[in-house]
Copies of this chain bind each other. A is one copy, B any other.
Amino acid sequence: MALASEQDFLDLVDRHFPNTHAGVELGRGDDCAVIRPGGDLCVSTDLFLEDQHFRRSYFSAGDIGYKGLAVNVSDILGMGGRPTGFCLSLMAPRGIEDAFWEEFFAAMADLAREVDAPLVGGDLSSAEKIGVCVTIWGEAIAQGRFLRRGMTRPGDTVFMAGRPGLARAGLLCLEDEGLRATDVCPEAVQAHLRPRMLMRQAVELAGDPGVRGLMDVSDGLARDLPRFLAEGQGLEVKLDPGALHPEVVAQAEARGEDPVEFALLGGEDYGLLAAADEETCRALSNRIADHIITGTVVDRPGLWRNGSPLTLDGFDHFAS
């Protein structure tokens, strides 16, 4: 078989993904699926491409299927949304064995089940490299309230659910050591290959009326914090090195880098940034185990440390 035709693809999809779901009026198999939204929908799309976003040398088929969907789920959580459906377009080189696709779809279907999002449509094409394009949509967790960027106020604390820099530690270690990295920094490797989706945390954050804004951290805190703040505002960064994951600290130190700067550069953290007053953040800290306080919002743009502009080697956070 080896996914040679659209029909093989449809059969494989049907074996792994149920074709009925609450909110889906008409499943896969016609020109379009038909969904019945319960209100406003948030929508996002992301590409996940071989040799651009992942390497087959250390990503298993299951890792690719999982993460191809996960990077999209995270965008929905970052709006205070809960995924309610997705479409999958798959680029598949000829000659990849059946077992690969079985594992790919099984892992993607596991995540779809975990977040309760039905697959309602798709497309397949031959291509030279594997590529996944998912479009995903969701409904607001807290009735009718999506949480946006740019909602911070001076004095707010910026809270992050997740572990900044951990996926970067995993990526760098995998690039250096291949799968031997699993012995060196197992949690960092896992964070890069199969980032945990912070669904429960999104429910906590979106459901708390004290949380003013929410955002998915995917390009690293140094890039994403300025995007999260309201216009004209900045952040006095107060990342406590003691709150960083030990594998982040170890990887940074092994590279002669400052752990806080290493964590700020991050990338693919798939954490959630939230803005709220200090008291709300203190309460959130008790309810969300993996978190870090990134700093305090100030009324001048940029990232600051002890009142001076924060500088990171090889990174200009004033450029986009």
Q: Whole-angstrom distance between the alpha carbons of A81 and B25 in the complex?
A: 15
Docked-complex contact A43 and B120, CB < 8 angstroms: yes
A36 at the interface (CB under 8 A from B): yes
Known contacts A49-B127, A133-B133, A148-B26; is-contact A32 B42 (Cβ 8 Å): yes
Docked-complex contact B47 and A37, CB < 8 angstroms: no
Q: Whole-angstrom distance between the alpha carbons of A75 and B33 in the complex?
A: 10
Within the complex, what minimum Cβ distance (angstroms) separates A171 from chain B?
17
A79 at the interface (CB under 8 A from B): yes
Residues of B within 8 A of A85 (CB): 43
Q: Whole-angstrom distance between the alpha carbons of A309 and B307 in the complex?
A: 83
Docked-complex contact B129 and A128, CB < 8 angstroms: yes
Q: Whole-angstrom distance between the alpha carbons of A5 and B219 in the complex?
A: 13
Docked-complex contact A32 and B78, CB < 8 angstroms: yes
The residue on B at minimum CB distance from A129 is B128
Residues of B within 8 A of A215 (CB): 30-31
The residue on B at minimum CB distance from A85 is B43
Docked-complex contact A76 and B133, CB < 8 angstroms: no
Q: Whole-angstrom distance between the alpha carbons of A213 and B207 in the complex?
A: 44
Within the complex, what minimum Cβ distance (angstroms) separates A33 from chain B?
5
Docked-complex contact A46 and B89, CB < 8 angstroms: yes
Docked-complex contact B34 and A146, CB < 8 angstroms: yes
Query: How many chain-A residues does the 8 Å CB contact rule pick out?
Result: 53
Docked-complex contact B75 and A31, CB < 8 angstroms: yes
A14 at the interface (CB under 8 A from B): no
Residues of B within 8 A of A42 (CB): 26, 31-35
Docked-complex contact A135 and B37, CB < 8 angstroms: no
A182 at the interface (CB under 8 A from B): no
A305 at the interface (CB under 8 A from B): no
Q: Whole-angstrom distance between the alpha carbons of A44 and B127 in the complex?
A: 20
Quick one: CB contact mask for A148-173 with B, threshold 8 Å, 1 for yes?
A: 11000000000000000000000000
Docked-complex contact B121 and A43, CB < 8 angstroms: yes
5 tightest A-B CB contacts, nearest first? A135-B135, A32-B42, A31-B78, A133-B133, A45-B87
Question: Which residue numbers of A lie inside 8 Å of B, CB to CB?
Answer: 5, 7, 25-26, 30-37, 40-47, 49, 52-53, 75-76, 78-79, 81, 85, 87-89, 91, 120-129, 131, 133, 135, 138, 146, 148-149, 215-216, 320
Known contacts A34-B40, A35-B40, A135-B135; 5 additional CB pairs below 8 A are A31-B42, A32-B81, A34-B41, A45-B89, A89-B135
